[in-house]
Structure 1
Amino acid sequence: MAIFAYLRVSTQDQTTEQQLYAIEQAGHAVGERLVYTEHGVSGKIPAMQREQFKQLSTQITSGDSLVVAKLDRLGRDTMDVIATIEALIARGVSVVVLGLGVLDSSPTSRLTLTMLAAISQFERELIGERTKAALAIKKANGVQLGRPMKINNADLKASAQALLDGGTSWRKAATDLNISLSTLQRMMK
């Protein structure tokens, strides 16, 4: 009966030290070779498409335990989290989520899992809605969204307009001005 730990952070500049510390402080003695860590891997990616989780899945067997610091470390997609945990439970693996307890095949565990995973996805969708609303407000207030133009020179724009008005093609005008065609097109909008 081995105890495995799965740690995941979404960006390369984050660390998993706090997750491992929390697991150890909760009394789970995880062997160094049984800790699987993902750096810079989004929770939106299905668990079985993540390299380290795939490796963990091939090593963990019936009677073993998988410990995670939080449910969202397994993923952000409700259906994927549920499918992942159910697949592990079907193989005889117990899944321990700190602060939540052991998830197994009991009705209480299944209810808890479904509710928490749904809340996690709901929070992610709310963040998306708030982001869209904030961008809409900025756009309504005249803020230029998107990548800024590399070149914002009135003289260059005037030269480009003169070339285009004189019948020069867009591609030739961009070449003559020593800028890319896409930069010319953005500048002339």
Structure 2
Amino acid sequence: MSPVSPPESLRATSRVTPQAAPRVLAYLRVSTAEQADSGAGLDAQRAALQAEADRRGWALEYVEDAGYSAKDLNRPALTGALARLNARGADVLLVAKLDRLSRSVHDFSGLVKEATRRGWSVVCLDVGVDTSTPNGKFMATITAGIAELERELIGQRTRDALAARKAAGVRLGRPPVLPLQVVRRIVEERDAGRSWQTIADSLTADGVPTARGGPTWTFSSARAVYRSQAAAPLRKQLEINA
């Protein structure tokens, strides 16, 4: 007895519709200081992303932020990519390294929550994060925390080094620069017998910027210019002429 074929309606429901390939945005980022770093450079990131795309059979669309740090998510290409993902114009945000995307656990955790709520995924190759899975979401939070800890440790080491230099008497920051005519004016007015406050008030009234670009002079800032190395040859010249 030959088998009975199921009705056409049942046969239709048993067909499997092929799943469309995800629309993947491959994000690249370097800060200005990292441009020459071969390990973090754009070419290295692009090679890693393309290799993963070839493995998964994905077609990539690259989005790139060059010259931006990862201190926050306020970067032009990333902002545009997130807007497209949230609008369901793409399905996956792919990055070669987690720190290319964010070094803040607060920002990255918020991004993961947003991705989950909106229905798209984050994939970070270096740490094996794929937020389409529960384990991947957990790993995303852990690795972002490690990245932020590393950033804070670097910042603390920098602050400690600066404090040690300051304690040793090293002058920190960019040295103030004043036009020679302003230095000469202060020297000449002081040697003519004017008080520091009178000199400061006259500079402020004439709209002369301070060494750091401020609008208001004080007696101490005028005195500091007079005692500076830049004023030394002018003072000596005036002494000789006197």
Query: Aligning the two structures, in what range does the TM-score lie when normalised by the shorter sequence?
Result: 0.7 to 0.9
- Give the equivalent residue in structure 1 for 2:50: 24
Any idea what the Cα deviations from partners look like across 1:1-21, whole Å, max 9, x if unmatched? 212101112228725222111
Unaligned residue ranges in structure 1 (runs of 5+) = none
Higher-Rg member (1/2) = 2
Structure-1 separation of matches of 2:122 and 2:128? 8
Residue of structure 1 in register with 2:202 after alignment: 172
Q: Percent identity over the alignment?
A: 32
Among 84, 93, 105, the residue aligned to 2:111: 84
Q: Does structure 1 conserve the Cα–Cα contact (< 8 Å) formed by 2:102 and 2:108?
A: yes
Partner of residue 187 from structure 1, selected from 208, 222, 225 = 225
Q: Give me the whole-angstrom Cα distance separating, in 2, the residues matched to 1:117 and 1:99.
A: 12
* Structure 1 residue 108: Cα displacement: 2.0
1:58-69 correspondence to structure 2 within 5 Å: 58-60=83-85, 61=88, 64-69=91-96
TM-fit CA distance, 1:143: 0.8
Describe how 1:71-150 pairs up with structure 2 within 5 A.
71-104=98-131, 106-150=133-177
* Deviations 1:99-128 (CA, angstroms, capped at 9, x unpaired): 323422544223211111111111111111
Q: Which runs of 5+ in 2 are unaligned?
A: 1-21, 36-40, 212-216, 228-242
Higher relative CO (CA 8 A, sep ≥ 6), structure 1 or 2?
Answer: 1
What is aligned with 2:230? none
Letter matched to residue 4 of structure 1? L
Secondary structure at the aligned position of 2:140 is classed as: helix
- The count of corresponding residues between Structure 1 and Structure 2 is 182
Q: RMSD of the TM alignment (CA)?
A: 3.2
